[in-house]
Amino acid sequence: MGQRVSIEIPGFEHDNPIPAACRVGPLLITSGVSGKEPYSGKYPEGIEAQCAQMFSSIREILKVAGATPDDIAKINVWIRDRTLRPHVNKEWLAMFPDPHSRPARHTFQEPDLPPGMLVQCEVIAYIGDWKLRSAKRFLGETPE
């Protein structure tokens, strides 16, 4: 399967014409995932709420793509201010409690995030063969 498939989730839309994520074979890469609330398109006040929403959106994108947090290989995170990192870590540890099974992560300070946005990430995941077949059924494709 070398065909590219756009992954969308209800209420999760970008300002530009890009999908929530893209899957090519077993590789899944998200577009920018922020703490923006689905449907309203507003950023909750505070870094804690934005981090919680960002990780919730990650889970939803993975679910639609036929994946789980166990399939994540790397997450890149951009935060407005480095002092906000402990709030990212709180959600990170909730999603990845096992210190022997965590994806790679790189956190960048980005003071020029759009107004209201305090945190954003990009996820890279690898979906194994059996999960690909399940995702194909979910997306209405005929499994190979």
Give the pLDDT confidence score for residue 1 in this predicted structure.
45
In the chain the domains, ranked by start, together with CATH numbers, are: 4-138 (3.30.1330.40)
- The per-residue pLDDT for 133 is 54
pLDDT per 10-residue tile (average), the chain, 144 residues: 82 86 94 94 95 97 95 98 96 97 97 95 88 57 56
Tell me the CA distances in angstroms from 102 to 74, 84, 136, one per residue in order: 9, 20, 26
Q: pTM, whole model, 2 decimals?
A: 0.86
| pLDDT score recorded for residue 50 | 98
Task: Note the pLDDT of residue 112.
Answer: 94
Structure tokens at 51: 């981090």
